[in-house]
């Protein structure tokens, strides 16, 4: 399924990514609750695009999608506002284009706490809610999300109250605006690979 | 008079065993004492990097870390991916294309053998000729068997790890290049079938196996790898590790030549914190430096 050809004019896109390594069905469920979807439509989102991962993620996605349809059928209002929901499994080359679109449409990224997705979102300068997977034994994801949230890089989200985190994203975007963006030239000095490699390998 | 059965006495076996043990320990000690910057090349020497792409976030972090690489210094790159990880192979290819595009944009002539660029007349930066060592002949992507699959039972891990180890040797020796295309041989490109000058890793299991393989090759000084100071090992702990090291990190800390962390609270001992390693993100307090 094509994901990056969203017509940006008048769009507001929310991307959800569950990562490439481990399935995270709980995040899909949390996103496809009536509360979360209602919050997104209230904020004027037009697209909700979900990277659900493997077959397990796909099953959960379709189940939750149908459940959501039934739940929302009783609410004519939210249907009229028209939030288009799409799902896809993976994208080989990564989601940097999608994250760019999220930033350009004043959108949002809701992500698992994998370092790859977090870095990609930070570098796209997009607003991101990071939801750690509590089922993973190692709690370092939780710690990372907390540390980065404390420094205003991102929102530390929770499965059981995701709609509130989505609400908070409006305020977060304003705060984030005062942050030196990556492209402002005010960035910190980056050591990068070359300094490390040169000092390890090259005799002067 | 020595009896012909001397070779089979327990004393002899014991002596042999002790001698071997002592020799091996001394050798290991020697390897250990040379940890640190290995400085295999002098300025202007072509250098060969071997980059182990873990998977998912590991791969992405590694490629972000390397994004400002200048190919005139690091003229040949070998990327290693685990079997079944199609994402990392794709990422590596995209990364190389991006390197090529960027250096082309800077106007650096692409090096394609001895006659393609006149090194004497080309523009220089800090004494280095500004030449782009990019394109399909300047890198290769190798696949090794995965050391441990996610959720693989611990009992069978030694077998898959051994399989992975056996897959590491041809990769390190450059005889396992997946591309049949042989790059042009010339004095400015390291022979791609030579041992790499540095191994870059950031976990997980496969990276550990690579370090083990490099130790074995250096132990026996295969192809003079130890004498020529090849295979400097550089470990980069994930930025996701805020206050505790990963399992691979904890295990590898004493063995690698450089051990880099991305959060100041992890620094100390052999663990170096050098500020931001990845552009646009820093683990420490966010301070603007112009």
pLDDT tens-digit series, residues B190-200: 666 789 999 99
Whole-number pLDDT of residue B187: 57
Q: What is the pLDDT of residues B45-61, one digit of tens each?
A: 889 999 999 887 899 89
Task: Find out if CATH 3.20.20.70 is the number for domain B45-273.
Answer: no
Instruction: State how far the alpha carbon of B290 is from the alpha carbons of A190, B202, B287, in Å.
Output: 11, 29, 10
- The list of chain B residues with pLDDT below 70 reads 1-7, 114, 176-192, 279-290
* Nearest-CB residue to B260 (from A120, A143, A196): A196
Whole-structure pTM value: 0.84
* Three-state secondary structure string covering A107-134: CEEEEECCHHHHHHHHHCCCCEEEECCC
Asked if the Cβ–Cβ distance from A194 to B280 is below 8 Å, we say no
Among B90, B243, B274, the residue with its CB nearest the CB of A143 is B243
Is the minimum CB–CB distance between B41 and chain A shorter than 8 Å?
yes
Instruction: State the smallest CA–CA distance between residue B267 and chain A in angstroms.
Output: 15
Q: Average pLDDT in the A117-142 region?
A: 83
Least confident segment among A159-168, A169-178, B42-51, B263-272: A169-178
- Residues whose CB is less than 8 angstroms from the CB of residue B213 and which lie 6 or more positions away in sequence, other chains included: B165, B168, B169, B172
Query: What's the rounded Cα separation, in Å, for the pair B37 and B252?
Result: 16
Question: Dihedral of CA A138/A139/A141/A143: which sign?
Answer: negative
Angle subtended by helix axes A96-104 and A115-123, to nearest 10:
40
ipTM score of complex: 0.85
Q: Residue A117: closest CA among chain B residues belongs to which residue?
A: B57
Structure tokens at B211: 């370090």
As a whole number, mean pLDDT of residues A111-131 equals: 88
Does the pLDDT of residue A96 top 70, yes or no?
yes
- By the CB < 8 Å criterion, does B228 face chain A? no
List of domains in chain A: 13-201 (3.40.50.2000)
Torsions phi, psi of B200, nearest 5? -105, 125
Q: How confident is the model at residue A187 (pLDDT cuts 50, 70, 90)?
A: very low
Contacts of B288 in chain A (CB under 8 A): 180, 186-188
Domain residue spans of chain B: 45-273
Arithmetic mean of pLDDT over chain A: 82
Does the pLDDT value for residue A79 go beyond 70? no
pLDDT of residue B190: 61
Average pLDDT, chain B: 84
* Per-residue tokens: B9: 């006495």
């Amino acid at each position: 399924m094509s994901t990056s050809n969203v017509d940006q004019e008048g769009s507001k896109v929310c991307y959800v990514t569950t990562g490439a390594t481990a399935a995270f069905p709980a995040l899909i469920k949390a996103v496809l609750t009536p509360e979360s979807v209602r919050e997104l439509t209230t904020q004027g989102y037009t697209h909700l695009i979900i990277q659900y991962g493997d077959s397990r993620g796909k099953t959960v996605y379709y189940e939750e999608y149908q459940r959501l349809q039934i739940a929302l059928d009783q609410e004519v209002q939210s249907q009229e506002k028209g939030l288009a929901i799409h799902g896809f499994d993976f994208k080989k080359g990564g989601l940097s284009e999608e994250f760019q679109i999220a930033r350009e449409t004043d959108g949002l990224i809701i992500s698992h706490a994998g370092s790859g997705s977090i870095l990609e979102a930070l570098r796209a300068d997009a607003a991101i809610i990071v939801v750690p997977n509590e089922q993973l034994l190692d709690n370092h994801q939780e710690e990372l999300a907390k540390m980065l949230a404390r420094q205003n890089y991102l929102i530390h989200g929770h499965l059981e109250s995701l709609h509130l985190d989505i609400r908070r994203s409006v305020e977060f975007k304003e705060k984030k605006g005062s942050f030196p963006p990556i492209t402002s030239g005010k960035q910190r000095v980056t050591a990068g690979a070359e300094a490390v490699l040169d000092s390890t390998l090259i005799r002067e | 008079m020595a009896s012909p059965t001397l070779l089979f006495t327990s004393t002899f076996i014991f002596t042999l065993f002790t001698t071997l043990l002592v020799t091996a320990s001394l050798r290991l000690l020697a390897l250990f004492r040379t940890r640190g910057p290995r400085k295999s090349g002098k300025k202007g020497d072509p250098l060969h990097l071997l980059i182990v792409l873990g998977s998912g976030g590991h791969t992405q972090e590694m490629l972000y870390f390397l994004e400002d690489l200048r190919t005139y210094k690091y003229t040949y790159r070998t990327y290693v991916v685990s079997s079944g990880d199609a994402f990392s192979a794709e990422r590596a290819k995209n990364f190389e294309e991006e390197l090529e595009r960027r250096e082309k944009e800077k106007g650096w002539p692409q090096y394609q053998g001895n006659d393609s660029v006149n090194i004497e007349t080309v523009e220089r930066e800090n004494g280095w000729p500004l030449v782009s060592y990019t394109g399909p002949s300047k890198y290769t992507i190798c696949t090794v068997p995965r050391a441990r699959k996610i959720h693989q039972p611990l009992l069978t891990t030694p077998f898959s790890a051994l399989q992975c180890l056996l897959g590491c040797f041809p990769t390190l020796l450059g005889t396992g290049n997946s591309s049949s295309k042989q790059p042009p041989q010339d004095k400015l490109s390291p022979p791609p079938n030579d041992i790499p000058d540095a191994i870059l890793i950031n976990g997980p299991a496969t990276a550990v196996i690579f370090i083990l393989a490099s130790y074995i090759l250096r132990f026996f000084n295969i192809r003079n790898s130890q004498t020529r100071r090849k295979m400097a090992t550089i470990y980069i702990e994930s930025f996701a590790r805020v206050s505790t090291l990963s399992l691979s990190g904890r295990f590898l800390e004493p063995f690698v030549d450089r051990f880099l962390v991305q959060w100041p609270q992890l620094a100390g001992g052999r663990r170096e914190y050098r500020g931001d390693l990845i552009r646009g993100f820093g683990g420490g307090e966010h301070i603007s430096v112009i």
